[in-house]
Amino acid sequence: MVCVAPLILLPPLPCRKGAQRKTNPPYGLQASGPDDFCRCDPGGPLASAKRWPVQTQTSTHNGKGSPMTVSYSTKETAAIMRKTLRASWPGVKFSVRQGRGTGSAWIGVSWTDGPRESEVKAVVDGFRSASFNGMTDSYDTLPDRLVAISTDQLPEMVRYGCDGVNVERHYSPAAVQTVTRELLADNDHLAELLAAVDVTTLDYNRLHSGQFCLLALPEDRGLTHRGEHISTYRINDAGTAIAAALRLTDLTTHTTA
């Protein structure tokens, strides 16, 4: 004969008056009333109520509350990047565009003359939130940054919506002609090669034409521009030499003639 013990249902532990039994709220939600998100300790009618810690987080810069990390969309990141570049180089016009399609998380930056690519890249790389990993063929998330948006505000943790930045520097004909004249003045052997070339007709596209590709540089001669040595590694012709000098020249305050 099998004996079955009776099932006894015990009443729930009483809570303090006004307290409610609720589960831990999802992260990011905030209590809507004084008794929301409470749990009670065992101990009878005088049990004390403990509140779950309320945490708030906003995903945009104009959210309410005290955000832990401020996140910007790619479009908002491009706007901040444009403002930062214009403040860094007031006389230069920058084009900052968000990518399309599969590259919508990328931002393209282009400008004419102005600062060197390395200088601009040092600024815009601070807006990246991911880094491409060639080993896994995927993106690695970069840590959030502590940023002071303006001088009258305290720094805050920021995450920009940008997987990468493509920079492209263009050169005006006036800049090409000025740098070419300076390069010819500093390098006699290059001046001999370009003796028959009218410098006033030069533009950047012409530097890569067949005419300049046939003007081979002597292997035993170096290049100097504005007192600085230019590495001749992989520089074999006159057009490539002028293009290398352009890339290394800061044209922000450069006087063109």
Distances (CA, A) of 228 to 165, 223, 235, 253: 29, 9, 16, 18
What does the pLDDT read at residue 65? 41
Q: What average pLDDT does the structure give for the chain?
A: 78
Q: Mean of the pLDDT values across residues 188-216?
A: 89
Highest mean pLDDT out of 29-43, 53-67, 130-144, 146-160:
130-144
Section 197-215 average pLDDT: 89
Query: Which among 197, 166, 192, 190 has a CA at the least distance from the CA of 240?
Result: 190
* pLDDT given at position 1: 52
Q: How confident is the model at residue 161 (pLDDT cuts 50, 70, 90)?
A: very high
Residues 73-84: b if buried by 16+ CB within 10 A, e if exposed: bbebbbebbbee
- Is pLDDT of 33 > 50? no
- Please state the rounded mean pLDDT for residues 196-208: 92
pLDDT by residue (tens digit) across 81-127? Answer: 999 999 999 999 999 999 999 899 999 999 999 999 999 999 999 99
Question: pLDDT category, 240, cuts 50, 70, 90?
Answer: very high
Confidence class of residue 241 from pLDDT cuts 50, 70 and 90?
very high
| All structural domains of the chain with their residue ranges | 70-170, 173-247
